[in-house]
Structure 1
Amino acid sequence: MSDDQQFCLRWNEFQSNMVSSFRHLREEKSFTDVTLACDGQTCKAHKMVLSACSPYFKALLELTILQENPSKHPIIILKDVPFNHLTSILEYMYAGEVNVAQAELPAFLKTAERLKVKGLAEVNQNDRQDR
């Protein structure tokens, strides 16, 4: 047997485990490192998840890192974002799906477009990362 031989080790349940783990981390608020605020309410999230799902959040979070006094746990205030849209968008980001009432769908998608949520909004080619 050659020492050069490579073996591919694959975790068969990787995707479902990651989704389950993300949901658990969100529910438990474990390791959260950013707070999102709108409509006078707040919720905690993870920079990595926000950045992976939205070039808008990625650019915003990169700006906080580049500032002279970057906060380890920034608070991002979102103007003109209804809190119920934010919580639904976070559910979508963490779980890959969300239920939205038909009557609420156009406004929800408009919010997702403003926040450049991948899979819900048109993302400019320059904003896209390799998937």
Structure 2
Amino acid sequence: MEDNQLMCLRWKDHHSTLMQKFGSLIKSDNLVDCTLAAEGKFLKAHKVVLSACSPYFQGLLREHYDEHPVFILKDVKFNELKAMKDYMYKGEVNISQDQLAALLKAAESLQIKGLSESNP
């Protein structure tokens, strides 16, 4: 009789390795495949990260098959956009207390997981 016992292979530091790699990707702009724009300034990003962190971006990216789409966000300030991008890549962001309400409002409109209550 053949022994078909399942073996579980686990990467012990998988989460920390991915977080470290995301950090290096955000700094180097390697493999970016979309651009976010606000107030005439641009941030490069990765579709997979945006889609994983926001149902709003996931819906946009499902509909736009362009190789490198550019999303212009009219009602978002650039510093808010940068803070949300940092949050999506690093899982945290430091902002001043006086910027908190505006950041949360922008995050709500973009449905950023962890910052927004409107996650479908």
CA–CA distance in structure 1, aligned partners of residues 89 and 95 of structure 2: 15
1:55 corresponds to 2:34? no
Q: Aligned to 1:72, which of 67, 70, 74?
A: 67
Percent of pairs with identical residues: 50
How well do the aligned residues superpose, as a CA RMSD in angstroms?
1.3
CA–CA distance in structure 2, aligned partners of residues 12 and 100 of structure 1: 32
1:123 corresponds to 2:107? no
How much has 1:82 moved relative to structure 2? 0.5
| Equivalence for 1:109 | 104
Q: TM-score, normalised by structure 2?
A: 0.95
Gaps in structure 2 of 5+ consecutive residues:
none
How much has 1:80 moved relative to structure 2? 1.1
Give the secondary-structure state (helix, strand or coil) at the position aligned to 1:81.
coil
How much has 1:6 moved relative to structure 2? 1.0
CA–CA distance in structure 2, aligned partners of residues 3 and 93 of structure 1: 44
| Equivalence for 1:34 | 34
CA–CA distance in structure 1, aligned partners of residues 17 and 118 of structure 2: 27
CA–CA distance in structure 2, aligned partners of residues 22 and 123 of structure 1: 25
Q: Which moved more, 1:2-11 or 1:73-82?
A: 2-11
User: Which structure 1 residue ranges, 4+ long, deviate > 4 Å from structure 2?
Assistant: none
Aligned length, in residue pairs: 120
CA–CA distance in structure 1, aligned partners of residues 56 and 91 of structure 2: 18
CA–CA distance in structure 2, aligned partners of residues 98 and 53 of structure 1: 14
| Equivalence for 1:68 | none
How much has 1:2 moved relative to structure 2? 4.9
Gaps in structure 1 of 5+ consecutive residues:
66-70
CA–CA distance in structure 1, aligned partners of residues 115 and 87 of structure 2: 9
Code of the aligned partner of 2:49: V
Q: Aligned to 1:93, which of 88, 113, 120?
A: 88
